[in-house]
Structure 1
Amino acid sequence: MATKVLMPQLGESVTEGTIAKWLVKVGDTVNKYDPLAEVSTDKVNAEVPSTVSGRVTEIVVPEGETVAVGTLILYIEEGGTAALTEQAAAPDAKSAPTSVSVSPAAVDAAVPAAGAEQRAKQRFSPAVMRLAQENGIDLSRVAGTGLGGRITRKDVEKIIQAGKQQPVPTAVPTQPASAPAVETEASAAPSALVAPTAPAANVTYDIPVASGDQVVPVTLIRRTIANRMVQSKHEAPHAWTMVEADVTNLVNYRNQVKDEFKKKEGVNLTFLPFFIKAVVEALKEFPMINSTWAGDKIVVKKNINISIAVATEDALYVPVIKDADQKSVYGIAKSIEDLAARTRAGKLTMEDMSGGTFTVNNTGSFGSVLSMPIINSPQAAILSVESIVKSPVVINDMIAIRSMVNLCLSLDHRVLDGLICGRFLQSVKQKLENIGPDTRLY
């Protein structure tokens, strides 16, 4: 009996996945729960386990191809008694969403003025939205071939290759609300508030390759990072500001307690937990910093979930410390070590990567003293903590050697202004400079 293996749904908002690598070949014998393939999505990589024991008889989807959730990818001739039906493998009608929520700003960029009410009922995956925006595709005129008529990336790619849609205009005359809607090319385009189409991060360039040059293929993870960075810089008007903090007392205190802390807790006490603790306390004072642009509104997040950057050999991942404002310095340190270890072991889950509301980037770990980070969309701001360096500082008209650090903030100027960001940074600075022997670690 042949069992159909379908593309699984790797997360609530994931509607498609790419077969990054097959871990089996036709003729292989597999046991239940053995990994069959590595699948890459817009959010995370994961292995697809076998649902039965048996022999692989046919691989339907080749490596590198992107398909919708529920698409047949593999046949296994079952060798056991427990057969998994296609209905059991596929997401059921109640649990499988036929759409994925994306930021309202991104939805606005693809919703035609004349069909706004109709398009509000259908949402698109981030990959589909980016591809449509990058190539000027009007999604209201695309027929979806995915489950429930959902538009997949392959649908958009076919239109791009066929060249049947012209890029949408970037400016449209404003029509009075009382005027009847007229179906024209102009009315089918995004509103005048939509920014010009972003350059595609996956565009190929005619770059000469000389003898001895090394050509490095772009991995799926690197391409995802590139697309997100282009999207962030294109959609969010970045502004930047910085303050300098005297963390001499923090350095002295941490040096005094780090060895005992490591011995007692088994966790390294780095400087980063102290910085994150100061940030989350300041976010409670200035909740607007912990918000998201949503087109016609700004969503101020109740939960404070801090995204942190963790580098591996080939990519940069951004796992999330959930409810960071409810954690002590010790709790934050433990969360950082756990997330970093699972990132480097390739064991991050969808839950680990989702829900961030503000990002703290530890660029000082590799010696940087000044940086201008790109906002982790759809968040409103990102803070880079630079390297702590000893510098001559004037205190009471005298020169002293102090441990100084630069705190660099990039902000979405649609949401935030310099005044509130300046006050937020001053609050972080004050909290850091007040750390000392009385600071609680638990």
Structure 2
Amino acid sequence: MTTTQTGTTVVLPSLGENVTEATITRWLKARGDRVEAGEPLLEVATDKVDTEIPSPAAGIVLDILVPEHALVATGGAIAVISDGGAEKAMPEHAPEPHPVAVSGTADRVETLPRIRRIIARRMLESLQTSAQLTTVVEVDVTEIARLRNREKEVFHHRTGVKLSFLPFFAAAAVEALDEHPVINSSLNTDCTEVTYHSAVHLGMAVDTDKGLMVTVIRDAGALRIPELAR
């Protein structure tokens, strides 16, 4: 707790040994509400405990610095409370802070709730420390094979590129990502946010004389079969 001319800055207290951060699950007071010293101000969650955080002072909640579902480090500022003598509260419907900031022009960034953060961290640990498996699915490509055999000579004459099965498989992957956008997403380094990418950058593994190389096809969702083939 830090007292300034504008009021008391509330910080996240220590929550136990080896606990360095917590997720704010729910604010029990809003901007403009009055709170008494020792009265529960918010609820937080860690990997070890869920608990209420009491207000260190009496007064009016002037500002909420960290939104719900956000991660905050121990000792980090989370709210500001006016001096206990203040009588006039802020408007009841003062706007709440926005929980998510969008990076880029189209990508969507979502703050993960506590349970999904824990799942994400455990899955990442498993990926880094456990052997991984590959799932193989048999697909009927009879019609694609017929189309390729019928058009490959004309295609090669027009484009100078041999028509293989690869562009068809690439197009199928792009369509699948479009129907299931959660697959085309990524976690930040501390597993607190997930970014859903609007563009599809498709990695294609190619066996070469120098070893396995991965070629990235940028904006594959905007390409047609001839462009994917090139």
TM-score range, shorter chain: 0.3 to 0.5
The normalised TM-score by structure 2 is 0.44
**Relative contact order, CA 8 A, sep 6+: which one is greater?**
2
**Could you say which structure has the higher strand fraction?**
2
Give the TM-score taking structure 1 as reference length.
0.25
Q: Name the structure where helix makes up a greater proportion of residues.
A: 1
